[in-house]
Amino acid sequence: MAAKYQVNMVMGVVERSGTNLYSTVIFWDSQGKLQGSHRKSTILHSESPLWSPGETPSTSASASSSLVLPLYATSSAGRIGGLISSDNRLPLLRSMLYERGIQIYCAPTADATKVWKASMTHIAVEGSCFVLSANQFCRQSDYHRYCVEEEEEEKDDAVVSPGGSVIVSPRGEIMEGPRYHGEYVLSTDLDFGEIDRAKAEFGRVGSVWGRTMLVG
């Protein structure tokens, strides 16, 4: 699909490796080439019986780990990267992306709360970047029958995950969304000059303070 429509694509998926399941964000370029992926490292207590954590990238400059967060330069859409779900709550991981000059921050999730919207606004301002958060929408009928309790089988139209995708500017302005209770496509034009203006006004995390915070 990425190659057919010549678009860069970022997608949250359930990844299976052996007997382990991971919550993973995957990146494709506009030629349909897989650029890379990142497995969510933070597992909530309610998720721990089923999900496995991915490796956490080291925030120490002296660490031997070669794992780095996903950030990819594109020919038409700037530098694209991001984190999935609750990994976006980790300030040091976000700062690693800011330091490398992220311009389009992607945050796929299944969190439809008002707190998530507030977090996306904060990240956009904090990192002086555009934030695109694709939020899962699904009904009970989208699940296999063995996942549904017998008494719930008559509620196929019940909304399980209500969506809430949103696009936020580097100044923290909501450009599109959030929308709930239905499938839809958000679309808007991004003016990369807004990133420069936001950084000129606020400064940038990749300053001496940002680097000290990462190394320390």
Q: In Å, how far are 98, 163, 167, 183, 197 from 139, measured between CA atoms?
A: 35, 11, 23, 10, 41
All domains of the chain in start order, with CATH:
63-215 (3.60.110.10)
User: Angle at CA 187, nearest 5°, toward 183 and 14?
Assistant: 50
110/123 Cα distance (integer angstroms): 17
pLDDT given at position 75:
82
pLDDT given at position 45:
75
146/55 Cα distance (integer angstroms): 31
Task: Tell me if 57 sits within 8 A of 67, measured CB to CB.
Answer: yes
Mean pLDDT per segment of 10 residues, for the chain of length 216 residues? 93 91 92 91 79 69 57 88 91 91 94 90 95 90 66 68 92 91 89 91 54 39
Instruction: Report the run of H or E that residue 139 belongs to, with start and end.
Output: strand 137-139
